[in-house]
Structure 1
């Protein structure tokens, strides 16, 4: 179904014996439905003389139409024309799947500006301009006068012939629309909203280069930790090959995205799995007392570790004594966790002071801030309620401690020391400057 949304101006419906813009679009494009926005002056003309309805019925009798009557007098003021935009939004709600034609040539300059904005801001619309019969300004042409017989004016319209000259053309607003969409995309990208940006890109991909879509798809998948899929889309396979250093780094960077976006309910619960995996790596690569010597798998080789009190007593009696003293009821078999790995490191006294300090701070965060928030039904975790809990660190301070501990443990490893999503964002934004050929 073809729909036209149009204001009516003093050149409508007929001026100087030729179609005004509104009537000419209806004649040429044959919309099945037209909604006409009328100021106070134009509302009076329609109510008193039916000039718009008669002109449409005479020329395109099958076309259905209705009017938006208003009492707007100061049509030269932009602030008075909010109802013009609202009328379009209401029409869009009624016909969300239909293409809507917008008349950019009727009404005051301010009305034309509003219609141009609507054409650039919304999808599935076409902006139509109509040249005057003189192919120049028609301000000197005579408007239809109130004392003229509208029926005579309609019948003497020079456009009422089969071979009339079409003066309609689609306004070249694609550059303006591209500019508007580009800025919306940049805003989404800078807020790490890659899925929303990718959806917008897919709807407007003709305006942008393919690289933009590839990078957005990569960022979306990567931020969901679908690493192999993300790199496969960039022509790379098995990028990490079970490289635990890079996997930990990816996890930490995604945690930082949640922190930056203020998604604390996503950020805080991830502290425990990250810290657990980080110390697992540390034990496997930097601690002489290997897990296999005092732990066993709970079910199979792929399940989580469980500490054996008996094995620990035999393999590391000093560590067992330390843990046995720490736990009031004595040390018994228990699941391996970040907290008891940290206790073991404290007993070994082999960890550098700086790293141990960072890990102990993070243990306080996990024990108090993380556990307190994770075990409540709070749906809106804020900085205020986070900092009300000891050690009263902000999410930014927590992420800084996480990154410092990570870098201390990964010293000597080949890793990116900054968040790669910042580099990705720059690449995506740069690609938006390229025009699709």
Structure 2
């Protein structure tokens, strides 16, 4: 059993003495039922003259006829045609196991577009196009007029013969489907939703080039900070300065969070990024190194702990400053974990530290203190409005700019990305989608 789902157009049911698309599909495929979607204009034609029901009954008396009657006047407006898609979904629910024939040749261009999308998005569907008798546009052909005798029009139809010339052909759904999937992939990629894009690609990889899969896997792994694995996919290993590279990657992923509007995750990532950034600064740029004022780590992944004695010896002003800050809590304690805030406080006491760097780090410290603690201890959400109404009253984009400034000041002289590489990566993915595998 098959069911025809179709909009009706002004070429239906008969035009210039030949079948319109609806009637021709019914004549050729012999569906057991047809459900016809009618705009307000077509409703009037059916209710006053029964043009569709009479033509179908004459040629296929066993075919059940159902109508979806609407008051749609502007059938050329896509937003008015949501009921056309909804009607198809309802038909699928009613007849989940039946093959559905979709007519891609009737109705307005917008109706045909919607029908094409329905054809690409669902299984157990056959998309059918019907050529005009002229093998081209039939807009100039004589249309059935409202004052014509519909019975006479039906009886004088040239297709009413056993050896009629079939003008139906089935649309290449695979081709339509891969264009639809390509559009979805590009949309996901431009939203930085690489995991979803990779999953969609893997389900439809026969349509696309292998290079697309590699780029999507690379982007997915890279955005999850699985950087080594990401670069193995492309065959381009990390450069020698992995510490700089990883901080650079971390910052770009933070920027992705901001672009996607995932502001809570963006704020949460502030602390580990700023901590790692200042660890790098003390190891490579500061007047004193971590080992000079911290206990030796027992394990590579253990936290640095500040030594009271070492700090007093190597940077007495720093020690005094930290001790004064903790005066109400009994002074600064030996073996306190090294933190971003402690490192920033120490930097304020050292000579030769860029004042611009200290200024931007102080602002970022305020953001971390005022927002991250709330995230850690309360059920809350970070919004642009909250950021702008809480000191230091900066938007997420302004925070990204502050982070980039701090990063670039610390990384002066290092080989780092001057802008986020993910937008360039998205362009490469989109370009790779232009190459389709041959569909057999």
Tell me if both proteins adopt one fold, taking TM over 0.5 as the criterion: yes
**Structure 1 residue aligned with 2:229:** 229
Normalized against structure 2, the TM-score is what? 0.78
**Structure 2 residue aligned with 1:392:** 393
**Structure 1 residue aligned with 2:54:** 51
Q: How does 1:90-239 map to 2 (within 5 A)?
A: 90-91=90-91, 100-107=100-107, 110=108, 112-120=109-117, 122-124=120-122, 126-132=126-132, 135=135, 137=138, 139-140=141-142, 145-147=149-151, 158-159=160-161, 161=162, 165-171=165-171, 185-199=185-199, 201=201, 209-236=209-236, 239=238
Q: Deviations over 1:36-92 (max 9, x none)?
A: 22432454379799536635754xx5x6663323466x5876587664444235445
**Structure 1 gaps, min length 5:** none
**Structure 1 residue aligned with 2:250:** 251
**Structure 2 residue aligned with 1:371:** 373
In the comparison of the two structures, how many residue pairs are matched? 424
**Structure 1 residue aligned with 2:354:** 352
**Structure 1 residue aligned with 2:331:** 330
Shift of the 116–149 alpha-carbon distance from structure 1 to 2, 3 Å rule, reads closer
Mean Cα displacement is larger for which, 136-145 or 270-279?
Answer: 136-145
**Structure 2 residue aligned with 1:411:** 412
SS in structure 1 of the partner of residue 349 of structure 2: helix
Q: CA deviation at 1:406?
A: 1.4
Q: CA deviation at 1:3?
A: 4.4
- Equivalent pair of 1:119/1:126 in contact (CA under 8 Å): no
SS in structure 2 of the partner of residue 4 of structure 1: strand
Shift of the 18–418 alpha-carbon distance from structure 1 to 2, 3 Å rule, reads closer
- Equivalent pair of 2:14/2:144 in contact (CA under 8 Å): no
Q: How does 1:34-49 map to 2 (within 5 A)?
A: 34-38=34-38, 39-44=42-47
Q: C-alpha distance in 1, partners of 2:52/2:208?
A: 49
Mean Cα displacement is larger for which, 291-300 or 382-391?
Answer: 291-300
Q: CA deviation at 1:276?
A: 0.7
- Equivalent pair of 2:361/2:406 in contact (CA under 8 Å): yes
Q: C-alpha distance in 2, partners of 1:95/1:393?
A: 55
SS in structure 2 of the partner of residue 67 of structure 1: strand
Shift of the 64–212 alpha-carbon distance from structure 1 to 2, 3 Å rule, reads farther
Q: CA deviation at 1:178?
A: 6.9
- Equivalent pair of 1:383/1:395 in contact (CA under 8 Å): yes
**Structure 2 residue aligned with 1:273:** 272
Q: CA deviation at 1:274?
A: 0.5
Q: C-alpha distance in 1, partners of 2:17/2:393?
A: 78
Q: CA deviation at 1:164?
A: 5.1
- Equivalent pair of 1:16/1:142 in contact (CA under 8 Å): yes
SS in structure 1 of the partner of residue 37 of structure 2: strand
Q: C-alpha distance in 2, partners of 1:75/1:316?
A: 78
Q: CA deviation at 1:168?
A: 0.5
- Equivalent pair of 1:7/1:106 in contact (CA under 8 Å): yes
SS in structure 2 of the partner of residue 391 of structure 1: coil
Q: C-alpha distance in 2, partners of 1:141/1:400?
A: 64
**Structure 1 residue aligned with 2:422:** 421
Shift of the 8–361 alpha-carbon distance from structure 1 to 2, 3 Å rule, reads closer
Shift of the 83–426 alpha-carbon distance from structure 1 to 2, 3 Å rule, reads closer
SS in structure 2 of the partner of residue 282 of structure 1: helix
Alignment of 1:306 onto 2:308: no
Shift of the 141–250 alpha-carbon distance from structure 1 to 2, 3 Å rule, reads closer
**Structure 2 residue aligned with 1:361:** 363
Q: Deviations over 1:302-345 (max 9, x none)?
A: 23223243554466555433322221121113221101112222
Q: CA deviation at 1:298?
A: 8.3
Q: C-alpha distance in 2, partners of 1:362/1:216?
A: 33
Q: C-alpha distance in 1, partners of 2:205/2:306?
A: 55
**Structure 1 residue aligned with 2:4:** 4
**Structure 2 gaps, min length 5:** none
Shift of the 95–425 alpha-carbon distance from structure 1 to 2, 3 Å rule, reads farther
Normalized against structure 1, the TM-score is what? 0.78
Q: How does 1:13-28 map to 2 (within 5 A)?
A: 19-28=19-28
- Equivalent pair of 1:387/1:394 in contact (CA under 8 Å): yes
Q: Deviations over 1:171-206 (max 9, x none)?
A: 579888777765655454443333444455556666
SS in structure 2 of the partner of residue 102 of structure 1: strand
